Amino acid sequence: MSDTTTSGPMLAADGTPLKTSLARALRRQKLRALALIAPLLLFVVITFIIPIASMLLRSVENEIVSNTMPQATEALQSWDASSDTPPDEAVFQALYFDLFRAAEAKEHTKLGTRLNYEQTGTSSLFRTSGRNLDKVGEEWQDPIEDIAPALKDGETWYAMMSGTGGEALLESRRALWNQMVPGDFGGDVGLTLSTEIIELLPLTSAAYADWAIFEALEKGRDVSSRDPWEAVYAALGLDLRAEATVAAVNAYQGPHADDLRLLTANLDQLPDLTFRDAFADLDEDWLDPEVWQTIQIYSPSYTSGYFLNAVDMEKGPEGAQARPDNQRIYNKLFVRTLWMSLVITASCIVLGYPVAWILANLPMRTANVLMILVLLPFWTSLLVRTSAWKVLLQQQGVINDILVWLGFVDDANRLILMNNATGTVIAMTHILLPFMILPLYSVMKTIPPTYLRAAKSLGATNWTAFWRVYFPQSVPGIGAGSILVFILAIGYYITPEIVGGTDGVFISNRIAYHISSSLNWGLAAALGTILLAVVLLLYWLYDRIVGIDNVKLGG
Amino acid sequence: MTVKRPPLLTFTAPIVAVLGACLGFVTGNVFGKPWVGFLIGAAIGAALATALAQLDGVARWKKTWGTTALFGLAGLIFGGTGGLVGGSVVGLCLGWFATWIGSGRYRAGVPTYYTAGQTLWHNTFLFITALIFFFLVAPLVPVMWLSFNAQDFFTFTPQMLAFEAEGYSLKHYRNFFEGGGSPGLGLIYGTIIGAAVGGLLQLLPNAERGVGKVVVFAIVGAILGVIVGKMWGVSGAEWMTPLKNSLIIAPFATLISVSLGTLAAIGLSQSHVPFRQWIMAIMISPMIVPLIISATGMFFFYAPLGNWLEATLGLNQSFVGYVKVILAHAVLGVPFVIITVTATLVGFDQSLTRAAANMGANPVTTFFRVQMPLILPGVISGGLFAFITSFDEVVVVLFVGSAQQQTLPWQMFTGLREQISPTILAAATVLVTISILLLTTVELLRRRSERLRGLSPG
C-alpha cells in the first residue's frame, strides 16, 4: 500500500484515512456492545441500585416533623432548649393549628410514632391529644355561636370569607397540606378568600382555608354550605382578642360585618383561654421541656439521629452522646454478627480445606462423584437445610436422642444446641460450606501435584512439603472462599431467625424486626447502610484479591 | 494391586481390638457399664480379627456382611429392633475394619515407601474427610425419614424407631398435595402437545430429524403437563397455592434474567467495552449485597410503585403484586446468568461469528445458528441458577409480596417459625428430590458441553 501513497496517511479501502476508519469501527463496536448491555444495566439500575440508594436516603431523611408541624417547628426555633421551661404561648398556638390539621388527616399518630423512637411516651401523647383537640375549639365555638347565631351556618361563613384576591393564601395553605399528605391536594377548592378579610382576620382566614381545602379535596364536599371545623372558631376568637382587630371590625364594610361587630361588642363572653393551659389540660407532658427538646432536635429535614441510634448513641441538647447502658444493643449486635461470621468462616476453612484437597487430588471420575455430595446441599433449598438442622438440633432432636440412647447425656439435661449461638454457627457452617469448597477447589485444581513430589524428592517431609510448597499456593483460594463466606454470613437472615433464638441472631434480624414489627424504617435503613458499607468494603477487598470476573459457580 | 498381609498377632488383632474396645465402650454405656463393654469389645475385636484371618479365600465383602449379619442377629436377640440396628452398625464397622486391616488394603492408597506413621496419617485424613462429607449430606436424611411420620411431630416416635408400620404414613404428603386440578389430564394433554411440537419441528428446513427428538419433546411436555394440570385452578390450598405461586413467579423471573442477562453477557464479552469493570460491578451487585438490604431497599421502592400502578393505571392488585415479586426476583437472578454465560463465552471462539458473517449470515442468524447453540449449556445452567434463586428465595418475597403471593419457601419459613406441622418435611423431601433431578440435569449438560468443545473424552 505504501508503494502507491509515498506521503500522507495510510488509507483504507474506501479512501478515508485508515486511522479514522479504524476509530469509526471501534466506536461502532463499542456502541454495539453498549446497546447489548444497556437493557440489563437499565433494569438493574432501576430495580436494584435506585431502591438501595433510596434506602440510604431514608436513613437520614426526617421530613415528617417539619412537614406535619410546619408552624410549630418554626415557632420553636427561637426556644432555648437548655432552659427548663416549656416554650411560650406562640409555640402552643402554632402547635394547636398544626396538630388540628394533622389530626383531621390522621397524620398525627405517624408523627407520634416517629418521635416515640426518640422519646418513649410521645406516641400516646400525640394520639390522646389529637383526639381531644375538638374540645379546645368548642370552648370558643359555643360562645361565638351564642353571640352571633348566624355563624352557626356554613353559608354565612362562606359568604363572609369569600371575595377576590386571596389566591396566594389558599395556595400557600395548599402547599402545607401537600407537604403533610404528599400529592393528595390538587384541584379546585371552590373558594376564593377576600383580601379584606385576610387583612382583618389573618388567623381565621388561614384556618378557614385549611378547612376548605381539606373539605373540598379530601372529602369531596361543597365548602359553600358546610360548617367549618372547631379550629376556625378558635382562630376567630384569637383574632378578635387583638386590640387592632376590634377597631378594624368596626370600620369593616364587607359581608356579615354586623355579625363580627356583635362579637366585638360581647368580647367579655369569649373565653380567656391560653393554648398552653389547654394542652396542659389534655396532657401534663406538654409542659415537659424534654418533649419539646425532642421535637426541636428532630425538626430539621435531615437528621443523623437514625445513625446515632444505630451505634447506640442519641442526640441530646449538647450534641451526640452515648445512650444509657441498658438501652445499648446495636454495638453488641454488630460485634456479635462480625464475631460469629468470623467463627463460621473459620470453621468453613477447617472443614472445607480437606474436602477441596481430596477433590483436587483424586482421579477425575471419583472426584466428580464426590463433587455431587458437595453440590447436593448447595442445590438444596436453604429452608430444607435449615429445617434439617432444626430436626437435628432441637432438644428432642436426633442428636440429643442418639446421645441419650447411648447414655452420654442424661435425659433430664439434654444439650441445648438450638436457639442460641451454637445452633446458628453449626447450621450456617453447613449451609455455607459449599461456598468455601468450590473456590478452594478451583484454586487447588491449578496447583500441579508435581510440586509436592518435587519438594519431597528434595528431602522435605510431608508436612514441610505441604506447609512450604502447597499451602502458600492455595492461600488465594482460602482468601476467596473466606471473603465469600464472610460476606454471605454477615447478612444472613433466615437461618439465625429459625435456629438462633435470641442469643444467635444477627443484625439482619434486627433490621427485619424494624421493618415489619416496630416499623422504625429509618433505623432499619441506617442499620442496613452500616451493614452495606461493611459488605462493600469486603467486596472491594475481594475484587482486589480475586477479581469479580473470577467468581466461579460450581459445576 | 497386591499388598503384603500384615502380621496377625502383632498388628491386625491389636488394632481391631482397639476399635472393638471403643465400640464396646459405647455399647456398654447404653447399659450403664462402659468399662465392662470396653473389655468385652476388645476381646471380641481380637477374636474377630483372628477368626477372619483363618477364612482364607473368602471374598472381603462376604466377610464384612457376614460379620454384620452375625452382630445384627446378636443385637436382635439381646435388644429387639433397636439392638438389630445397633448391632448391624457395630458389625458393619468392625467387620469392614477387620478385613480392611487384615488384608493390608489400608496401604493401597499410599506409595510403598511410606512409613507406618505416614500411612496412619493418610488414612486418618481420609477418615476425617469422609466425616466432613457425612456432615454435608447426612443432615438431609432425617428430614426425609421424618416426613413419613404418622404423628404430627418433628421428632422420631418410638414406633418409627422400631420400624413398625403404624409409625409411618403418607399423610404429610397427602396434606402437601391436597387441592388442585387433575394431573392425569395434564399428562395426556402435555404428552400430545409435546409430541406435536416435536413433530412439527421436524418439518422445519435444516432440522435434525429423528424419533428421539419427538420422544424428548413428549417427555418434557408430559412433565410440564402434569405440573400445569395439578396447578390448574388451585386456590386456598395450604401448600399447593404457595407452590403454584412459586411456579408462577420463578419461571417469569428466570425468563427476564436469562434473556436480558444473556444479551448483556454477550455485550460484555466484546473486546472493547468502556467502563467494563463498573458495569460488571453493578450487574454482580445483587449477589453481593446482603439479601436483607436488598429486601429493605426493594420494600421502600416497590410499595409506592405498586400503589402508583394500582391507582394510576388501574391494574389489578394481585397482578401488581406478582409483577413486583417477579421483577425483584429477576434482578436477583441476573448475576448468576451473567457469571455463567460470560464464563462460557470465554471459551467461545470469536472467529466462528466472523466466519459466519463471511459466509453471508446476518448478525441475528449468526446469533441463533452459531453462537446460541454453543453457549446454550452456559445459558441453561445460568437459568437454572436464576430459577433456584427465585424458587428458594424468602427474604425479598417476605418484604415485597403480599399474602396473595405467598411462595413455598415463605410458607415453609412461617411453618418453621411457628412449628405448625411436619408437612414442611414432606415439602422439603419433594424439594430435595427436585434438586437432585436438577443437579443431574446440570451435570449432564456440563458433560455435553465439554464433549462439544472437545475438552474431555467423556
Rg (C-alpha) for chain B, rounded Å, is: 29
Residue B127, pLDDT score? 92
> Within chain B, what is the greatest distance between any pair of CA atoms?
89
Amino acid at B373: P
What Å distances lie between residue B398 and A264, A505, B298, B316, B409, CA to CA?
Answer: 62, 18, 11, 20, 10
- Is 90 exceeded by the pLDDT of residue A429? yes
Which of A:17-36 have CB within 8 Å of B?
26, 29-30, 32-36
pLDDT digits (tens, 9 = 90+) for A445-476: 888 889 988 998 998 888 899 999 999 888 88
Residues of A in contact with B431 (CB under 8 A): 380-381, 383-384
pLDDT tens figures, B120-141: 888 999 999 999 999 999 998 8
pLDDT-based confidence at B457, cuts 50/70/90?
very low
Q: Are B21 and B42 in contact, with CB atoms under 8 Å apart?
A: yes
Rounded distance, CA B33 to CA A324, Å?
Answer: 55
Other Cβ atoms closer than 10 A to B81:
13
pLDDT band at A554 (very low <50, low <70, confident <90, very high): very low
Q: What is the mean pLDDT of residues A46-69?
A: 88
pLDDT digits (tens, 9 = 90+) for B393-416: 899 999 998 888 899 999 999 888
B387 vs A: CB within 8 A:
no
Within 13 Å and on the Cβ side, how many CA atoms surround B276? 16
Q: Does A369 reach chain B within 8 Å, measured CB to CB?
A: no
Cβ–Cβ < 8 Å for B161, B136: no
Work out the mean pLDDT of chain A and round it to a whole number: 85
Confidence of residue B453 (pLDDT cuts 50, 70, 90): low
Cβ of B381 within 8 Å of Cβ of A555? The answer is: yes
CA dihedral B298, B300, B301, B307 (to 10 degrees): 120
pLDDT reported for residue B2 = 53
Q: Tell me what pLDDT residue A551 has.
A: 54
Which DSSP category does A149 fall into?
Answer: G
Instruction: Report the gap between the CA of A424 and the closest CA in chain B (Å).
Output: 15
The pLDDT of residue B1 is: 44
Strand partners, A162: A193
Query: Mean pLDDT, chain B, as a whole number?
Result: 85
DSSP B332-370: HHHHHHHHHHHHHHHTS-THHHHHHHHTT--HHHHIIII
In the prediction, which pLDDT does A546 show? 66
Q: Which chain A residues are Cβ-neighbours of B291 within 8 angstroms?
A: 491, 493
Give the position of cell 449449556: B377
Dump the DSSP string for B183-227. Answer: HHHHHHHHHHHHHHHHHHHHHSTTPPP-HHHHHHHHHHHHHHHHH
A49 vs B contacts (CB less than 8 Å): 282, 285
Report the alpha-carbon distance of residue A108 to residue A105 in Å, rounded. Answer: 8
Query: What's the pTM value of the predicted model, to 2 decimals?
Result: 0.81
CA-nearest of A298, A332, A336, A321 to A522 is A298
**Could you give the count of Cα atoms lying within 13 Å of B290 in the half-sphere of its Cβ?**
31
CA–CA gap between residue B441 and residue B434 (Å, rounded)? 11
> What residue in B sits closest to A419 (Cα-Cα)?
B417
The 3-state DSSP class for residue B449 equals: helix
Q: Does A47 touch chain B (CB under 8 A)?
A: yes
Q: Does B114 touch chain A (CB under 8 A)?
A: no
What average pLDDT does the segment B1-15 reach?
Answer: 77
Interface pTM (ipTM) of the complex? 0.85
| Domain A332-550 class in CATH | mainly alpha
Say if the Cβ atoms of B280 and A548 lie within 8 Å. Answer: yes
Please state, in angstroms and as integers, the Cα–Cα distance from residue A215 to each residue in A69, A101, A163, A226, following that order: 20, 11, 19, 9
Q: Which three cell numbers stand for residue A18?
A: 485508515
Q: In angstroms, rounded to a whole number, what is the distance separating the alpha carbons of residues A323 and B380? A: 53
Which residue shows C-alpha cell 461502532? A28
SS3 of chain B: helix, strand, coil, percent, to 5: 80, 0, 20
Model confidence pLDDT, tens digit, residues B146-175: 888 888 877 888 788 777 788 888 888 988
Cα(B41)–Cα(B28) distance, rounded to whole angstroms? Answer: 9
Q: How high is the pLDDT of residue B151?
A: 83
Q: How confident is the model at residue B207 (pLDDT cuts 50, 70, 90)?
A: low
Nearest to A392 among B29, B139, B417 (CB): B139
CA angle A216, A217, A221 (to 5 degrees): 35
Question: Nearest residue on chain A to B281, judged by CA atoms?
Answer: A548
Q: Concatenate the DSSP letters of all residues of B138-191 into one string.
A: TTHHHHHHHTTBSSS-SS--HHHHTT-GGGB-SHHHHHHT-S---HHHHHHHHH
Phi, psi of B98 (to 5 degrees): -65, -45
∠ Cα B194 B200 B204 (to 5°):
140
Query: Which sequence spans correspond to the domains of chain A?
Result: 70-297, 332-550
d(C-alpha A363, C-alpha A356), whole Å: 13
Query: Is the pLDDT at A1 greater than 80, yes or no?
Result: no
Q: Which residue does chain A place closest to B427, by CA atoms?
A: A384
- Taking the Cβ of residue B362 and every Cβ of chain A, the question of whether any pair is shorter than 8 Å is answered with no
Domains and CATH numbers, chain B: 8-145 (no CATH), 181-232 (no CATH), 237-452 (1.10.3720.10)
Report the alpha-carbon distance of residue A91 to residue A76 in Å, rounded: 6
Q: Calculate how close chain B gets to A382, using CA atoms only, in Å.
A: 7
A316 pairs with which residues across the strands?
Answer: A319
Residue A231, φ and ψ in degrees, nearest 5: -60, -30
Question: Helices A50-58 and A521-545: crossing angle, nearest 10°?
Answer: 130
B266 chain-A contacts, CB cut-off 8 A: 36
CB contact under 8 A, A55 and B30: no
Over residues B168-206, the pLDDT tens digits come to: 888 889 888 887 778 888 888 999 998 898 888 887 776
> Is the Cβ pair B299, A515 closer than 8 Å?
yes
Helix or strand or coil: residue B223?
A: helix
Using CA atoms, how far apart are residues B132 and B141, in angstroms rounded to an integer?
15
Kindly determine whether residue A41 and residue B282, on different chains, have CB atoms separated by under 8 Å.
yes
- In this predicted structure, the answer to whether residue A262 has a pLDDT above a threshold of 50 is yes
Closest CA to B455 of B380, B374, B382, B350: B374
Tens of pLDDT, residue by residue over B263-275, are 999 888 887 788 8
3-state secondary structure A416-450: CCCCCHHHHHHHHHHHHHHHHHHHHHHHHCCCCHH
Please say if the pLDDT value at position A555 is more than 50.
Answer: no
pLDDT tens by residue, A271-315: 877 888 888 888 888 888 888 888 888 888 888 888 888 888 887
Contact A492 B432 (CB under 8 A): no
| Nearest C-alpha neighbor of A268 from the set A233, A228, A241, A236 | A241
CB-based burial label for B63 (10 Å; 0-12, 13-18, 19+): buried
Q: Which of A52, A389, A401 sits opposite B289 (nearest CB)?
A: A52
Q: Which among B26, B296, B443 has the least Cβ separation from residue A515?
A: B296
d(C-alpha B236, C-alpha B242), whole Å: 9
Residue A372 predicted with pLDDT over 90:
no
Show the cell assigned to B206: 435444516
Q: Which of B33, B36, B125, B132 to mutate to test the interface with A (most CBs of A within 10 A)?
A: B132
Average pLDDT over residues A127-156: 84
Helices A421-444 & A382-393 angle (0-180, nearest 10): 130
The yes-or-no verdict on residue A356 having pLDDT over 90 is: yes
Size (chain A), residues? 555
